[in-house]
């Protein structure tokens, strides 16, 4: 009997696993591009359709409502039916919906189409994280998963640079056309090349021939295996559904704290990425300069690679909590740097590194927290619930601008969310201490 995770741990990271990583990275990259696109076209919408800043809140938040709904639906479906098909379907949905958004004729149509885009986006990220984490060695899981999730802020940053070039040339609709064509093409590649999670196949009792054929693409030495087992590194109740695992008494406090931390991180992220171009323009910068400085914020996600290495070596919740605490300080500093464009660029980039490092690490943290039966639901529900933080962030900034808060006061309010996120992860650690993700701890076998 072959233990699947032991087999994966014993092999070097193969070309087949790098292919899976690359496809999942592309999904997350497109996710970030499409999610961030609406913020970068917002100033153009204001000019073309004569929209006041507070009136932008519904269209800026529509995709986030869809993201939340898509994630909440996708998790239980993926724990029941598999990771592959829901992931491919989600990429196709948000690609087609983004293409449709480019042809919207008014704010109502655009808001509706952005909601549909969000449904696909919401299912994509958690499924990509789940399938990638289940093909990783234990000792490198957080590093490789964080490296993959860097695609989200990089996609959002690339969208900003791309928008700054495209919009003057071809108008704001071209950004949405580009954001739709890429995922549609990517869905075809995924259909042809993406495998199902091997851990899921074992847990659900798929035929040994199919499991063996998949593992043979990592290393041919598995060709003689006749049966397979996978070992869980976190305890679970036999036969529990994904939802029951996530909400069980064993995991409930940790679940709630993961939700709260990720929620508060997205209050900052979406409040900033959706409104920063508009706020900077209101602070006296021209539209192009405001857009370019704003793109520095999501670009900071590259720090998640370093955080993943720390998570694989030390206590993961504490590592991420420290990054959230530093985020709170740096976000406050953004509001104090508006008068100096050079200093503002440095502070925005630093805040982006810290926040996106913490935020991009949350899916890996959740993937290591839950067992196979509840992993997709745990990751997806954390992502889904946290999307309401993005909605709250967008409406929060809209309300603060309506109340005529200063630029500095707005970012002081956002900084509070970073402190709350940090505290939540320390509470999670105190309630149920977690060993490093690579630590085997207690285990339960799932055999086929």
- The range of the structural domain enclosing residue 267 comes to 2-447
Of 402 and 287, which is predicted with more confidence?
A: 402
Q: What is the reported pLDDT for 441?
A: 36
CB 92 within 8 A of CB 117: no
At residue 6, does pLDDT exceed 60?
yes
Q: With residue 178 as reference, give the H or E element that holds it.
A: helix 173-193
At residue 59, does pLDDT exceed 60?
yes
Tell me the pTM. Answer: 0.74
At residue 142, does pLDDT exceed 60?
yes
What is the CATH classification number for the domain harbouring 249?
Answer: 1.20.1250.20
What backbone torsions phi and psi does residue 374 show, to the nearest 5 degrees?
A: -120, 5
Q: Is the dihedral of CA 314, 318, 321, 322 positive or negative?
A: negative
Q: With residue 155 as reference, give the H or E element that holds it.
A: helix 151-170
The pLDDT-based confidence of 183 (bands split at 50, 70, 90) is very high
State pLDDT tens for residues 88-97: 999 999 899 9
Q: Hey, how many other C-beta atoms are within 10 angstroms of the C-beta on 91?
A: 32
Kindly list the strands in the beta sheet with 228-232, ordered across the sheet, starting from the edge strand earlier in the chain. 2-3, 228-232, 444-447
Question: What is the total count of domains within the chain?
Answer: 1
Min mean pLDDT across 70-74, 176-180, 302-306 is at 302-306
pLDDT over 90, % of the chain: 13
State pLDDT tens for residues 143-160: 888 888 878 778 877 777
Question: Strand, helix or coil at 174?
Answer: helix
Q: What is the reported pLDDT for 433?
A: 43
Q: With residue 232 as reference, give the H or E element that holds it.
A: strand 228-232
The pLDDT-based confidence of 233 (bands split at 50, 70, 90) is low
State pLDDT tens for residues 292-314: 777 777 665 566 677 777 877 88
Average pLDDT over residues 233-245: 59
């Amino acid at each position: 009997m072959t233990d699947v995770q032991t087999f994966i741990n014993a092999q070097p990271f193969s070309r087949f696993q790098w292919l899976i990583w690359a496809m999942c990275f592309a999904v997350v990259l497109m996710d970030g591009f499409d999610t961030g696109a609406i913020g970068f076209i917002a100033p153009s919408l204001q000019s073309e359709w004569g929209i006041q800043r507070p009136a932008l809140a519904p269209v800026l938040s529509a995709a986030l409502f869809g993201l939340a709904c898509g994630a909440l639906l996708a998790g239980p479906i993926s724990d029941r039916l598999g990771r592959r098909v829901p992931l491919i379907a989600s990429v196709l949905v948000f690609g087609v919906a983004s293409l449709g958004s480019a042809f919207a004729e008014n704010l109502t149509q655009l808001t509706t189409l952005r909601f549909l885009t969000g449904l696909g986006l919401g299912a994509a990220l958690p499924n990509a994280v789940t399938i990638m984490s289940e093909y990783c060695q234990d000792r490198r899981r957080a590093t490789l998963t964080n490296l993959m999730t860097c695609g989200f802020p990089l996609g959002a940053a690339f969208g900003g640079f791309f928008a700054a070039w495209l919009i003057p040339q071809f108008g704001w609709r071209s950004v949405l056309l580009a954001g739709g064509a890429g995922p549609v093409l990517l869905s075809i590649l995924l259909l042809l090349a993406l495998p199902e999670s091997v851990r899921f196949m074992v847990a659900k009792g798929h035929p040994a021939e199919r499991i063996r054929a998949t593992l043979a693409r990592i290393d041919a030495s598995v060709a003689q295996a006749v049966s397979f087992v996978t070992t869980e590194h976190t305890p679970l109740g036999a036969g529990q559904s994904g939802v029951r695992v996530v909400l069980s008494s064993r995991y409930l406090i940790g679940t709630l704290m993961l939700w709260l931390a990720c929620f508060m991180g997205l209050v900052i992220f979406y409040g900033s990425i959706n409104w920063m171009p508009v706020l900077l323009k209101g602070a006296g910068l021209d539209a192009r300069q405001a857009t370019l400085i704003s793109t520095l914020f999501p670009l900071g996600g590259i720090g998640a690679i370093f955080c993943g290495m720390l998570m694989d070596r030390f206590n993961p919740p504490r590592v991420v909590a420290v990054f959230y605490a530093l985020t709170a300080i740096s976000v406050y500093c953004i509001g104090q740097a508006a008068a100096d464009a050079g200093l503002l660029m440095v502070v925005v980039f630093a805040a982006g590194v810290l926040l996106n490092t913490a935020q991009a690490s949350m899916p890996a943290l959740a993937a290591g927290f839950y067992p196979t039966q509840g992993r997709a639901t745990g990751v997806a529900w954390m992502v889904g619930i946290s999307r309401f933080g993005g909605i709250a962030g967008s409406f929060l900034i809209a309300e603060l601008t309506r109340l005529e808060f200063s630029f500095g006061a707005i970012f002081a309010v956002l900084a509070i969310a970073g402190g709350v996120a940090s505290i939540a992860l320390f509470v999670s650690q105190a309630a149920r201490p977690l060993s490093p993700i690579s630590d085997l701890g207690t285990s339960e076998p799932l055999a086929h």
